[in-house]
Amino acid sequence: MDKKVIYEEKELKAKSGWLVLILTIVLYLCAVGGVIFAGIQLDNSYGSSVLAGILMAVCIIWLAFGWTLFLGLKIIRPNEAFVFTLFGKYIGTLKKEGFYFVNIFASAVSPKHFDESSANAVVLVPTISRKISLKTMTHDNKKQKINDLLGNPIEVGIVVTWRVVNTAKAVFNVDNFTTFLSIQADSTLRDVARLYPYDSTDTDEKTLRGSSVEVSEKLKALLQERVEVAGLEIIEARITHLAYAQEIAAAMLQRQQATAIIEARQKIVDGAVGMVEMALQKLSDSKVCELDEERKAQMVSNLLVVLCGNKDAQPIVNSGSIY
């Protein structure tokens, strides 16, 4: 079985287009002058001049077919490239900006592009321009429903910043590199999202919501490995949308609220106990009054009620003896 050919990019050495353009125009002017001159000679000699006839034939042939040299003139702007094939064989890529002349029989490969505006997500549209853009581009991956590590359905969307770095791989190794990137981004997002829970009460556990930097780095590394065959470079891959699915969003919101209330109560109780300890210590050090164990317990109970209550306390003033 023949092994699949993995194309590597190679530079096409093209000549300056200015030289060919100027030479072609000059030859056209000369051909026009030659036709006029040969016509005069033939008219004066009544068609007996062989050299004049040959000159006119050559000039007419040049006027008829000389324009084909203009087909080899190519203009390359910054961050653009042409991938050329000659009779089906890859001969090189023209990436440096400028004005060039290439073999008129060489054809530039015309890639198809992904039409994201179409209702059908797999529509490919041919482009009039045969250039490949080397600019940094952004792919907005639509949000999709995925199960996290705990099995909870969540909605996740990512944005991928990428560019073409190997035009030969992008054109010949995959059918369409933009569609290939979109499919690989979907698959990578699903694989990475399953490795983390949406959220966790354990502060040391990595989660989708709390460890965005780590998740983005893992997305970028895994996606880069998968699109390497297409000659693409992943600059950044980050989550732009993260939420529970609608069917469990209300229940998860209640759980988050309950967790937040419990954590807040724990902090309130810890603070209240510290304040009670400080109050008892201050009373003991200043010797304002001596309290037995029963009165200390009653004081602690009252202070905790005041400090931990949801509403303002209504104190009862005892003007008599505390005993």
Angle between helices 212-227 and 177-193 (to 10 degrees): 140
Structural domain including 88 reads: 15-108
The tally of domains found in the chain comes to 3
Tell me which of 86, 108, 130 is where a domain ends. Answer: 108
Task: For residue 83, give the 3-state DSSP assignment.
Answer: strand
Segments in 80-230 forming alpha helices (H): 167-168, 177-193, 212-227
Residue that wins the pLDDT comparison between 157 and 37? 157
Share of the chain above pLDDT 70, in %: 72
Contacts of 252 (CB under 8 A, 6+ apart): 152, 198, 244
Residue from 11, 8, 2 nearest 229 by CA: 8
Tell me which of 108, 142, 158 is where a domain ends. Answer: 108
Token pair for 69: 């040299």
Average pLDDT, the chain: 78
Same structural domain for residues 116 and 232?
A: yes
Same structural domain for residues 118 and 100?
A: no
In a domain, 97, yes or no: yes
Q: Strand pairing of 137-147 and 153-164?
A: antiparallel
In a domain, 163, yes or no: yes
Same structural domain for residues 35 and 66?
A: yes
> 14-29: per-residue pLDDT in tens?
888 899 899 989 988 9
User: What pLDDT, on a 0 to 100 scale, did the predictor assign at position 220?
Assistant: 93
Residue that wins the pLDDT comparison between 146 and 135? 135
Q: DSSP assignment of 128-141, as one string?
A: S---EE-S-EEEEE
Across the range 247-271, mean pLDDT stands at 66
In a domain, 59, yes or no: yes
- Give the model's confidence band at 122: pLDDT under 50 very low, under 70 low, under 90 confident, else very high: very low
CB 203 within 8 A of CB 225: no
Site of tokens 């042939």: 61
Same structural domain for residues 140 and 226?
A: yes
- In the predicted model, is pLDDT for residue 89 greater than 50? yes
Angle between helices 17-44 and 50-65 (to 10 degrees): 140
Residue that wins the pLDDT comparison between 146 and 257? 146
User: What pLDDT, on a 0 to 100 scale, did the predictor assign at position 165?
Assistant: 92
- Model pTM greater than 0.85? no
